[in-house]
Each structure stands twice: as C-alpha cells, then as structure tokens.
Amino acid sequence: MKRINKLPALLLLVLLTGFVLPAHAVGDVPAEADKKGSVDVKEIIFGHIGDAYEWHITTIDKTPLSIPLPIIVYSKQTGWHAFLSSRLQANGSYEGLSIAPAGSRYEGKVVEHDAAGNEVRPWDISITKVTFALLINSLLVVALILGVARWYRRHPQGSAAPGGFIGFMEMFIMMIYDDVIKSCVGENYRKFAPYLLTVFFFIFTGNLMGLIPFFPGGANVTGNIAVTMVLAVCTFLTVNLFGTKTYWKEIFWPDVPWWLKVPIPMMPFIEFFGVFTKPFALMIRLFANMLSGHMSMLVLTSLIFLTAGMGAALNGTMTVISVLFNIFMNLLEVLIAFIQAYVFTMLSAVFIGLAQEKSAGKEKVSIKNQ
C-alpha cells in the first residue's frame, strides 16, 4: 500500500477539535417513572441523544452509576471555575453555579444568578458527554491507523500482503483512496487524501461507537449537530481555501449568457449561494440520518414499557416485535454507519475536485506534456 503521509497529524487535529467544541449539555439523567408509574418516553429518547455533564452508565437499585465529567466555565462575576459535575449532583449548587431546572430557558445547563436573581449563562467549555466521546473515538482512530502504519514500517514494500486486521484496514483505506479520493478529486488527489481519509474513519468510528449500548459506546456523536457542523466547516475551508482561480471565476463570472450576469447578477448570486449550501447539506445529511436512526431504535424499545400495563398478551407481543425490529434496525444502522461516512467523504471529495478545476488553456498544456 502506498504510504500516505500527514494522516496521523490530521488525526491529532481532529482529536484537538474535541477540546474546543462548544458542547452545551441538555441533561442526561436516567429515565424514571413518573408519579403514575408510567415511563417517560421523552426523557428516555432525549436523555440518550442529548448532551450531558456526566456519562450515565446504568442504575443499580435506583442508584444511578455515572462518570462525572469536568465542568469548566468562566463567569464575568466570579472568574474561572473548574470542578467535577458530581459536585453539582451532590449539593445542587457549587461555587454559585447550578444546573438549570426543567422548564427554564437554559434547562440542563450550568447557570448562575445575578444580583437581581435572574439566571445568567457563563461561558461554558466543559468536557461534556459528547466531547468526552469525541476524545475516545479520536484516540481509537489514532491507535488503529498508527497500528497499521507501524506494520508497514516493519515490512518493506514488496513483501507478502498483510492478513487479518491489517489486511482488512488496507482494503478499507485503498477502497476510499482509489475509488473515492482519486476518482473524485482529480490530479491533486494526493494533497487532499489525508484529510478525506481522516474524515471517513472519524465518522465511521463515531457511527459504530454510537451503536454500542454500553460505555465507552452509546454516545450519539455524529447525531450532534455541533459535531457535523465542525466537519462541514472543515470541508468548506478545504474547498474554498485551496480553490483555483478558475473555480472563483466560475462563481463570480460564470460562462452563461450576459443577461444572466448584468445588470442583475442572478447567476453569480446563485453560484455564491451554492458555496454555503453545499457544506450545509453535508452537515444536515449526516446529522439527520444518524439522529433518526437512534431515535427510531429508542422508540421501538419504549414500546415494551408503554404496553406494560395493557395486559400480558399485548405486552408480550409488542416485546417480541420490538426486539426483532431492534435487531433488524441495529444491523441496518451498521450499514448506514458505513454509508453515511462514505457519502460524506465522497461529497467532500466531489466538492474539492470541482474547486480544483483549471482553465481550458492549462488543460491543453498538461495534455501535451503527458
């Protein structure tokens, strides 16, 4: 396999991205029965797909087992605060900070109160559940890729083909490298291969980890719009910072009839608007598909508890149906995890390739040189 440099460095860049994501928590407490004994399905669903200041693992004898995460906030009134979220869980408030209750404007988020008693939101850079999951997923991707790279450093080019996990990873890497990056980007594909390979494995790993129902899996990373927004912004910057003069000329002065450009620049406006709609589509596509998959499985699971008081026959039937559909949905989500990573990488490669367009004169020169 051809050596692809700079990939570990870009993987570390994605790792550092997890530290700066402004992931604001919305609560992730374990689902409990209400006063009537019924299950709060809304709490189950949004408690799983939402962010939180702790990582809830399970509940043993009505005692929640959670991993407290660091809360790091800056208050204009009292300065910096750094402590574990367990302080707030135990005392209700700590150092003048507390978690906003249900129904509040900042429900589930760290707030403080001003002199008038109003809730004020401090600047929050806490390591929340989604951020912590990003770090775990990034470390896993780094470990996998560096493990493959170490095998190739120990085996000179031309040696026997690798087998087992190394061979599986080579198949994946070369499939994306040859079938997606090389064919979509064009002659400058080597320049953008590290970024695109990083994006693919980061999304694919995050999607798979989200399907694991226990720690360190289960976090809905790619179903968080802040994460998909950062990925889309990275593609947006890659496309436009490395775009050629021909690319920008086609945006501001495309080859269309003059009356579509003057006196009203209709086509330049449409082309310029498309610069922003492309990354927006990437963001929404990945976010919506992964979020809907998690929500559908949670709804199917909740059917068991919703029918618990409707008789043994109905509840038993719905339990069997729910389990069978969940097995099917989990298998389908594994396929979707790959498809969404593949589609995001392919569309990013297509957008980058379109931005690498050259003028007709330069293309003729390159053909003669070949």
Task: Kindly list the domain boundaries of the chain, sorted by start residue.
Answer: 7-20+129-360, 41-124
| Residue 84 phi, psi (nearest 5) | -80, 150
Tokens 């392919």, residue located: 346
- pLDDT, mean over the chain: 82
Which candidate, 8, 17, 16, places its Cα nearest to that of 227? 17
Beta bridge pairs of residue 82: 72
Stated as kind and residue range, the H or E segment containing 160 is: none
Q: Tell me the average pLDDT across 256-279.
A: 85
Q: CA 184, CA 174: separation in Å to the nearest integer?
A: 14
Where residue 39 falls among pLDDT bands split at 50, 70, 90? low
Where residue 64 falls among pLDDT bands split at 50, 70, 90? confident
Beta bridge pairs of residue 55: 67
Q: CA 253, CA 256: separation in Å to the nearest integer?
A: 8
Where residue 266 falls among pLDDT bands split at 50, 70, 90? confident
Q: Counting beta carbons within 10 angstroms of the beta carbon of residue 184, is it exposed (0 to 12), middle (13 to 18) or buried (19 or more)?
A: buried
Q: What is the DSSP-derived secondary structure letter of residue 234? A: H
Question: What is the share, in percent, of the chain residues with pLDDT greater than 70?
Answer: 85
Q: Tell me the average pLDDT across 220-229.
A: 91
11-20, 69-78, 209-218: which is most confident: 69-78
The predicted-structure confidence for 137-192, as pLDDT tens digits, reads as follows: 999 999 999 999 898 888 887 778 788 888 889 888 999 999 999 999 988 899 99
**What is residue 15's predicted lDDT score, i.e. its pLDDT?**
36
Q: Which residue stretches of 212-311 are H helix? A: 225-241, 245-252, 266-306
Which runs of E-coded beta strand occur in the chain? 54-60, 63-68, 70-75, 79-84, 93-94, 97-99, 110-113, 119-120, 123-124
96, 73 Cβ separation under 8 angstroms: no
